[in-house]
């Protein structure tokens, strides 16, 4: 089994947002001009032999790129393949808490994701703390981005070390840092090693580009700490998995990385 810990089924608003223009020099893909049907995302999963994908909402300060209700509608079209991850407006704390409860209790989502670079504040900013409290209370992971930003936004807020303070303040909270934390991957590994409930996912990187220190972590004491991710549609699942057999993971480490850790962390 393979589970993708970070993907999106994009709306046209999301796919065409100018903030992602800088990514096109890497993906070499033009922005779509029509809504992408859910079966196309499922077909991409099939091509990469991915069984389930956690697809995320995108709430930004200036707009909602993918709403929670849109994510719920996508999941409803392929409920055995897609799993919802919600997002909220951290500038409105009471509304954010209510929306997190709705996402988990009514929509059946398995996690909440907020990206610090979208808000241009670090995860230690006070506006995040009601979100952490709600996620911890509901027993669902808080997912975020660590590492530099592909979009032309400040990267400093993605330093993994910020999560050290969050984990100290909320030891009950499960935290998943996506995008491996590069160029601060060793920092991400240190935080994940220190805190029982901090994890890393490999979204936005192909297996061939995993840093050596991350692969070593996955083979050893970090085998329970790292999850496979794509950041689809930026990277197709089949492309993300190219070279996976060259990493030298033993059978247990490969199983945990590709599905076991995600099943446990997200309660799938």
Query: What are the tens digits of pLDDT across the range 94-104?
Result: 999 999 999 99
Token pair in block for residue 83: 């799993």
Residues 8-36: tens digit of each pLDDT? 999 999 999 888 888 877 777 788 888 99
Q: Give the Cα separation of 116 and 174 in Å (integer).
A: 17
Q: Give the Cα separation of 138 and 81 in Å (integer).
A: 23
Three-class secondary structure of residue 56 per DSSP: strand
Rounded to a whole number of angstroms, the CA Rg of the chain reads 17
Q: How many domains does the chain have?
A: 1
For residue 92, which phi and psi values (nearest 5 degrees)? -125, 80
Q: Which domain holds residue 77?
A: 3-266
pLDDT of residue 33: 86
DSSP codes joined into one string, 176-236: EEESTTTTSHHHHHHHHHH-TTEEEE-TTS-GGG--HHHHHHHHTTTTTTEE----BTSS-
Q: Which residues contact 57 (CB under 8 A, 6 or more apart)?
A: 64, 66, 67, 68, 70, 71, 84, 85, 86, 87, 113
Domain of 98: which CATH number? 3.20.20.140
Token pair in block for residue 117: 């670079």
68-77 helix and 38-47 helix, angle to the nearest 10 degrees: 60
* β strands within the chain, DSSP E: 3-7, 52-56, 58-59, 64-66, 82-86, 111-113, 142-145, 175-178, 198-201, 226-227
User: Which parts of the chain register pLDDT below 70?
Assistant: none
Q: Give the Cα separation of 155 and 257 in Å (integer).
A: 26
The β-bridge partners of 113 are 143
pLDDT of residue 99: 98
Give, in order, the Cα–Cα distances in Å from 47 to each of 44, 58, 68, 185, 241.
Answer: 5, 25, 27, 29, 11
């Amino acid at each position: 089994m393979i589970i993708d810990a970070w993907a999106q089924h994009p709306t046209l608003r999301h796919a065409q947002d100018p903030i992602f223009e800088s990514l096109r020099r890497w993906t070499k893909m033009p922005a779509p001009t029509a809504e992408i049907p859910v079966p196309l995302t499922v077909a991409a999963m099939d091509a990469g032999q991915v069984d389930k994908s956690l697809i995320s909402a995108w709430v930004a300060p200036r707009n909602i790129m993918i709403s929670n209700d849109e994510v719920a509608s996508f999941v409803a079209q392929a409920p055995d393949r897609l799993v919802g991850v919600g997002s909220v407006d951290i500038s409105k704390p009471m509304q954010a808490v209510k929306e997190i409860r709705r996402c988990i209790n009514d929509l059946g989502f398995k996690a909440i994701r907020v990206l610090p670079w979208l808000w241009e504040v670090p995860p230690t900013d006070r506006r995040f703390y009601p979100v952490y409290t709600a996620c911890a209370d509901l027993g669902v992971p808080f997912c975020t981005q660590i590492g530099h930003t592909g979009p032309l936004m400040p990267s400093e807020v993605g330093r993994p070390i910020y999560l050290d303070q969050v984990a100290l303040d909320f030891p009950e909270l499960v935290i998943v840092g996506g995008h491996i934390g590069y160029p601060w991957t060793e920092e991400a590994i240190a935080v994940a090693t220190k805190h029982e409930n901090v994890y890393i996912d490999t979204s936005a990187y192909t297996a061939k580009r995993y840093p050596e220190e991350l692969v070593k972590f996955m083979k050893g004491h970090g085998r329970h700490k790292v999850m496979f991710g794509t950041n689809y549609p930026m990277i197709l699942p089949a492309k993300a998995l190219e070279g996976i057999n060259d990493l030298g993971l033993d059978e247990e480490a490969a199983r945990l990385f590709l599905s076991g850790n995600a099943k446990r962390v997200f309660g799938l």
